[in-house]
Each structure stands twice: as structure tokens, then as C-alpha cells.
Structure 1
Amino acid sequence: MSIEYNLDGRNGGTTKPSGVTSYFLFLAACVTVSIGVVPVAIFVLSLIRPCMPPIISGLIFSACQSWGDDGGFGFLFRTGVGFFEWYTWTIITGIVSFVIMLMLLYPVEIKLLLITMMGRNRRNNRCIALKEYRTLQLLSNFHNFAFYYPAMAIVTGAVMICGSIALYVVISSADIVPLPVVILFSIVAFDFFLIIHGIFKIVSYPYIKSVDFIHLVKNGKYTKWDLQFINSCPLQNYCWVMADSSIN
């Protein structure tokens, strides 16, 4: 946030990469809706279908004969289970949203802002562009440390597995399972579809744009010392962060 504030203030608060704000706000809105809708849907499901997965009462108690059965549970019991499920799913969706939006996507947005500033300062002020390149490299290292192996592999695998399961239920069992379950898994499948085809793609943008910047530097009017400074930045070996910064 400090980096974003400094970059924004340096140019009068008007410097923002084209299109970044729109899709970031769209994804943030989708996450916010999911945090509000999923726990409420689980709570309502606990009241009307207490034996239906993923409601805990339907998984623990043997009184349930089918998903549509009420299990003989009273209203107070259903309400108690509903509040427990609402709290649990609020925590789950909140943690997932925090990891995806703040730990994964927000640093990527700051990197894109830095790369945009470097491109603008490349001709006007070479020293500022090189300083921002070093800042980008340090931010990339911190981001890598947060998702050091096997953290990113676990996040990617968990997202793909959960998305595949939700999509499989929607496609193969839509005419078998009750409508509330179909709606719930449809919301989950849509969220993971956005993560896989939206957020994971956005995460690759700093690498692509940094490659373009390296080519611009290589073909630009930079001194030998400038090139040595950029070469002094360690190579980025992890998936999305930056390009190979070697310039020959």
C-alpha cells in the first residue's frame, strides 16, 4: 500500500494502468457477493434441508434417511446448526478471499503499476525508472516468499480440485440433486472459474510486461552501468513474478 501511495502521489494521483481498476473491482465485487451469499445460503439450507450435504447434521446424525428428509430435527436444533454453518462458511470464504485478493492479486496490481511507471519514466528520468525496477524486484521477492513452494502448488491444486468437483456436480447431477444444492455448487463453480481463468491469468501479467520492459531497456539508450545495475537483480525462478532480467 505504501508503494501504491508513493507512485500515485508522484503523479498527482492520476497514474493508474489502463483497465486495472475495472477488473480488480469486478473481482472484488464477485468475492464480496460470494462472502455474503454462500454463508446465507448454507444457513437457509440448514433450516429447510438439514439432512442435505454439506450441512453437518446430515453427515453426523443417522436419523437422516435421504437428502430431502428433515431427520426429525426441531426448529431450535436447525437454527443452532444453521448459525454454526453460517459462522464456519463465513470464516472459510473470508480466508479464501483474503488469500486470493490481498495476498495473491493485490501485489500483482502494484507490480503492474510499477512496470507502467517504469515505462513512462524510461525516457524522461532514467534514474527513477531504475529505482522502480529495484523496488519491483524486492516486491517480487517478498511475494515469492509468501507463496514459497509448496504454498503456490497447494493453492493451485486446491482451486482446481474444488472447481472440478463443483462443476462435475452441476453438469452430471443437476437433474438428481435438489435445486438448492445445484445453486450452491453453481456459485462455487463460478467463483473457481473466475479464479482459474481470471486471477491466475492476471497473475502472469507482471512477467509478460517485465519481459517487454527488458527488451525496451536492451534496445534503449542505457549506459553500461545501467545494464549492470539491472543485471545485479537476482533472477526470478518462480512462476509468475518477473522475467529473466539478464541483458547481454
Structure 2
Amino acid sequence: MGAILMPFMAVIYSLLRPCMPPVLTSVIFPNCKSWDDDAGTSFSARLFGSIMMGCVAFPLLTTVIFSIAVVMVYPTVVKLVLIQTMMRDLNRQTENTLLMSTYRILQILTDMHNSVLRQPITATLVGAITICQTFALYILITATSIVPGVVVFFFFMIALEMFIIIMGAFKILANPFLRSVELLYYMERKSGSKWGKRFVRSCPPSKVTLGDGKFFDRATSLVIWRTSVDYLITFLLT
């Protein structure tokens, strides 16, 4: 919800407070003396600035939502559904040959997903989210008594959304690896033939790549959050 509200907030700010960063008109209007100033502009000029801000904010929002929800999370959910189906079939004593062929489908889906998330897409996205989280927290800690309340609320929404992405969406990306490791363990135990056990050992777990040879696992969300906090501490000490 916050991600949807932020572009509308930016449009309203540019209409009511044209000199308030990060509104684009704050660097366009030359007569801005303070954040509360209207630069002596007419309503039509502020309306034009708010339309410009909307043309920037809404495509940016669409890009972020598409990158997180469609490119990263949705294929992961599909893989989780496939793994859950295989676990249910395994409990029903389904033939191993059918499960093995289904797991090959999972591998193909994983390879296709990782081919989209190769360098530098995932690394850039994770880095951008980490930096946004760091700067939003920095503003909230150091400038709360200086900047207007609306700006504090804006950065609070950014920090909250970045926290949800790190601890929510990135946590979901680790689930295919955890679930597939468990699935392969039970498949090997219930495989009667040596050929079946050998086949299961040759199957790698389903991993969502980070683009640099690493992948999302149980601790990835905490590592990204710790990195953001480390950057924040560095900025506070400088």
C-alpha cells in the first residue's frame, strides 16, 4: 500500500510544496527560498510541475513493482507450488520416474528464472534497495527535527517498504532452495533402486541466483539488512 501511495504523495507535494525536495520543481523554479515557499508561481505552473513529477514517479513505481513481484517473486511462487505438489505425490507413493521427470521441469524453470536474474540485474536491484534503506534510515535519524513532517513521513514510508522487501520478498526467494533440499532428501530415501538414488544425487537444489555466484538462502535477508545497517553506521560516524 505504501508503494502505491508514495507516487501520489510526490504529486501532491509538487502541487502544494513546489520547493520541497525531492520534488522536481524544487530545482526548476529559481526563486525557491525555503521548502515552504511557493516560489511565487501560479497554480498552473505548480500543476505542470506535479504532472511532470507524476510522469516520473509512476513509471518508476511500475518498474520496481514489476521487478520485485513479477520477475522475482512470481516465478519463485510457481516453483514452490511445484515442489509442494511433488512432496504431496511423494507421500502418496507416486512412481519415482514421474517425480524425477517433474523435478527436471523444476530444474528447467529454475534455469530460465536465473537466466533472467543474471548479472547485473539482481545485484543492481539488491544494491539499490540496500542504499534506499540506508539513506531513508539516515534521514529519519539525523534530520527528524529539521525537515518538515511530510518529508519525515515520506522517508518513513520508503524505509518501511524497503524493510518489507528485504525481510519479506527476499525471504520468499530463499524458500525454493530450502524446500528442494528437503524434497531431494526424501526422494533419495524413498528411491528403491541404485539408479534412482544416483539420479537424485545428481539433481541440484533449486536456487535463486544473486547474480555473482551466490544465491538466496535462509540468511540472505539478514545479511542484506546487516549490510544496510553497516552502511548506516558508517554514515553516522562520518
TM-score normalized by the length of structure 2: 0.81
Matched, 1:217 2:187: yes
Whole-Å separation in 2 of the counterparts to 1:230 and 1:240: 22
The 1:76–1:44 alpha-carbon spacing in structure 2 relative to 1, beyond 3 Å, is: same
Whole-Å separation in 1 of the counterparts to 2:62 and 2:192: 46
Superposed displacement of residue 153, structure 1: 1.1
Superposed displacement of residue 194, structure 1: 0.4
1:227 is matched with which residue: 186, 197, 203? 197
| Cα distance per residue 1:177-208 (max 9 Å; x no partner) | 11111111111111111011111111101101
Q: What fraction of aligned residue pairs are identical, expressed as a percent? A: 34
1:163 is matched with which residue: 129, 133, 157? 133
The 1:218–1:233 alpha-carbon spacing in structure 2 relative to 1, beyond 3 Å, is: closer
State the match for 1:74 in structure 2: 42
Describe the SS at the equivalent of 2:38: coil
Structure 1 gap ranges (5+) = 1-29, 242-248
Note the 1:40-51 alignment, pairs <5 A.
Answer: 40-51=8-19
Whole-Å separation in 2 of the counterparts to 1:174 and 1:113: 44
Note the 1:77-88 alignment, pairs <5 A.
Answer: 77-88=45-56
1:239 is matched with which residue: 203, 210, 215? 215
Whole-Å separation in 1 of the counterparts to 2:135 and 2:65: 19
The 1:221–1:230 alpha-carbon spacing in structure 2 relative to 1, beyond 3 Å, is: closer
If asked which structure has higher relative contact order (CA below 8 Å, sep 6+), I would say 2
Matched, 1:54 2:30: no
The 1:222–1:152 alpha-carbon spacing in structure 2 relative to 1, beyond 3 Å, is: farther
Whole-Å separation in 2 of the counterparts to 1:47 and 1:134: 55
1:95 is matched with which residue: 23, 43, 63? 63
The 1:234–1:119 alpha-carbon spacing in structure 2 relative to 1, beyond 3 Å, is: closer
Matched, 1:34 2:3: yes
8 Å contact from structure 2 (residues 15, 46) kept in 1? yes
CA RMSD in angstroms, aligned pairs only? 1.9
Superposed displacement of residue 87, structure 1: 2.2
8 Å contact from structure 1 (residues 63, 71) kept in 2? yes
Whole-Å separation in 2 of the counterparts to 1:47 and 1:104: 35
Matched, 1:135 2:105: yes
Matched, 1:63 2:40: no
The one-letter amino acid paired with 1:34 is: A
Matched, 1:193 2:163: yes
Superposed displacement of residue 139, structure 1: 0.7
The one-letter amino acid paired with 1:154 is: T
Describe the SS at the equivalent of 2:13: helix
The one-letter amino acid paired with 1:130 is: M
State the match for 1:180 in structure 2: 150
Whole-Å separation in 1 of the counterparts to 2:126 and 2:192: 39
The one-letter amino acid paired with 1:40 is: F
Describe the SS at the equivalent of 1:239: coil
Matched, 1:208 2:184: no
Matched, 1:148 2:124: no
8 Å contact from structure 1 (residues 46, 55) kept in 2? yes
Superposed displacement of residue 216, structure 1: 1.2
The one-letter amino acid paired with 2:189 is: N
Structure 2 gap ranges (5+) = 208-212, 218-238
Describe the SS at the equivalent of 2:137: helix
8 Å contact from structure 1 (residues 166, 188) kept in 2? yes
